[in-house]
Chains A and B, each alone.
Chain A
Amino acid sequence: MITEEQYESLFAFCRKHYVQYYDVQVELADHLFSAIEVCIKENPKLSFEQARDKIYSGFGIKGFSDIVASREKMMGKKCSQQKWKMFLSYFTIPKIAMTLCIYASLLLAGRFLKEVNQRAILLLVVGVGLIIFEIIYSIQTSKIFKKQQKVLLYTSGRLYDILYSGLLMQLLFTSSILNKLTITIISSLNFSLIAFLFLLVFISILAHPQFTKELYSSACKLYPKAFAS
């Protein structure tokens, strides 16, 4: 009979073998538990540790690493799919109208800014403003995760957006479109394209809370022990 302490020790065993995510540990600990139980039943002379190591050797030379990698890959894709769904669900008629208004205002501003650097400065201000907005907004929406006490791969996707937006801005401001901003005026076409890109980032930020809320409620349902009651 495996004791409660021995079962809990399987989580430490997973951590020792580089499985940091609680949701992955849960599955592996349960697998090890069931396998160890059968192993000891078949060979009562084996200690818990001996049986555990015997089962672990069955995972192959890479141990748990392939399992963690495949789970990371799967969660990454699922997260993107979910965000994409949320992004598309954002487009209701009032929000489409608001989006078009924002875009029109940006384009209009661009029309009046014809001096050297003016358009680039506007884009820079909007871009930096967007990142700041995203950081503040994400911190606010992530507050619901305060109760989460364990690291879950399942909920880790909520933090990627800031990184992506930051990277996008970085790319934009170092790309060939803007690296001449000190000497040239940004063409209307480039300006409208970049403004459109910013708009997409803005919409994805607005759609983010819904994604976060759904992620939180399904994580609570799937892994209640990872959250403080």
Chain B
Amino acid sequence: MKKSSLYKGCLEPIIMRLLKDNGRMYGYQITQMVKELTKGELNITEGALYPLLHKLEEQEIVETETEMIGNRMRKYYTLTKAGKKHTSIAIDALKTFMQSLEFIVNPKTSLG
């Protein structure tokens, strides 16, 4: 089974969490930070990242700003006020989901 299909639905809370912790981030930085934090286990492709960021922008969960880095223009994503609230809800939902998975994957240990 492809690893990416396992974590596809979890990308949204992951990105939101990173933005909450780091303030503002740009696309490439997000992909690299996820790779670094998961020691290369999780690799967000550009084809998945940007459409997701655009969706979050559409839902007004994130907003964008641009900054000149030398002669280059860089676009940063930041959580909006509503996005910050939404992040906590999304993280809680992810935790519950992980717990539920634990019940299935390790039924004995999770039942204690």
Which residues in A have some Cβ–Cβ distance to B below 8 Å? 4, 7, 26-27, 29-31, 33-35, 38, 58-60, 62, 66-67, 69-71, 73-74, 77-78, 222-223, 225
Contacts and interface: CB of A to CB of B under 8 A. Distances in A.
Nearest to B29: A34
B95 interface: no
Given A26-B75, A71-B54, A66 B64 contact: no
A71 B49 CA distance: 12
Contact of A30 (B45, B58, B64, B75): B75
A113 B102 CA distance: 75
Closest 7 CB pairs of A and B: A70-B51, A74-B58, A34-B28, A74-B54, A70-B54, A60-B47, A67-B50
Interface string B40-83: 00000111001100110110000011100101111100000000
Interface in B18-36: 26-29, 32
Contacts of B74: 30
B66 A7 contact: no
Contact of B72 (A33, A58, A69, A73): A33
Contacts of A222: 64-66
Contacts of A30: 26-28, 69, 72-75
17 contacts: A7-B72, A26-B73, A27-B50, A29-B72, A30-B28, A30-B69, A34-B28, A38-B32, A58-B46, A62-B47, A66-B51, A70-B51, A71-B50, A71-B54, A74-B54, A74-B57, A223-B66
A67 B47 contact: yes
Contact of A67 (B29, B51, B64, B75): B51
Contacts of A77: 58
Contacts of B75: 26-27, 30
Contacts of B72: 7, 29-30, 33
Contact of B54 (A4, A73, A225): A73
Given A58-B46, A222-B65, A78 B58 contact: yes
Given A4-B71, A74-B54, A74-B55, A27 B27 contact: yes
Contacts of B71: 4, 7
Contacts of B32: 38
